[in-house]
Amino acid sequence: MPITADYHLHSSFSGDSDTPMEEMILQGIHLGLDQMCFTEHNDFDYPANETDTEDTFLLNADSYLYDLLQLQEKYRDKIKVLFGTEIGLQPHLARQNAAFAKAHAYDFIIASSHICNGKDPYYPSFFAGRTPEDAFTEYFESILDNLSKYSNFDVYGHLDYVVRYSPAKDQGYSYEAFRGLFEQILTKLIDMEKGIEINTNGLAKGLRDANPCQGVIKRYRELGGEIITVGSDAHTPGQIAHAFDRAAEILKDCGFRYYTTFEKRSPSFHRL
């Protein structure tokens, strides 16, 4: 396996996973990974719904770090375990998110858009009564709004997360269809010296491509983007490093000859 570091992982410290962190680590060792970075969710002001409360995605970072430090030591001769988080961005939360990010010495921070104008595209209500194109446009515009207000992160996660949950999935979707918005997003990220990730969870959910789609990754590279991490977005052991061989092929096709890892917020580059 050319990629041996999974940089998007969730355990029971995230509101949408019940898996103990140690079970995730043991599976990573079994798969031959040499690095795993847990990126536990923190989403302030998450809209309550039929299954989630407002505090479902609030991270107890102290408890998370306590357990992680013990497991780092326990498995230090078998795998490197990194301390990360995935922060859910919303424009009005910029100061709150900045304080959260500074409160602990994270190795790696993913910024993600899970909530767009008060709704999570995970739920069908986000798409109700309109076309996927209109829903996608609103979502990508919200990313630009987030980028204008918040900067303490290393990569932007699953840039086209919204596509994963569309009723039509990625039928009719492409980089070209939203070229204008993606040009602005990618240019802004590069100007900010931030990276993106290739997230293979879309492939696990039946999409033709990873998140973001190959066209976005290729254009990021063409514009001079250099930082790209690889993550499965796993919430259970069986999802860890899913389709990483495919991810390596996509990266090469897009002009990358390496992938990125982080420690103490500093990037390192690994040849594919």
- List Cα–Cα distances, 16 to 19, 31, 53, 64, 271, in angstroms: 9, 23, 12, 15, 33
Terminal C-alpha separation, the chain: 9
Joined tokens for residue 3: 């990629």
d(CA 39, CA 85): 4
Q: What is the pLDDT of residue 37?
A: 98
Q: Residue 40: give the domain boundaries.
A: 5-271
Whose CA is closest to 215, among 271, 157, 174, 266? 174
Predicted model pTM: 0.97
Residue 187 pLDDT class (50, 70, 90 cuts): very high
* Residue 231 β-bridge partners: 199
CATH number at residue 140: 3.20.20.140
| pLDDT band at residue 8 under the 50/70/90 scheme | very high
Residue-wise pLDDT tens digits, 191-205: 999 999 999 999 998
Q: What distance in Å separates the CA atoms of residue 3 and residue 245, rounded to the nearest whole number?
A: 7
Domain total of the chain = 1
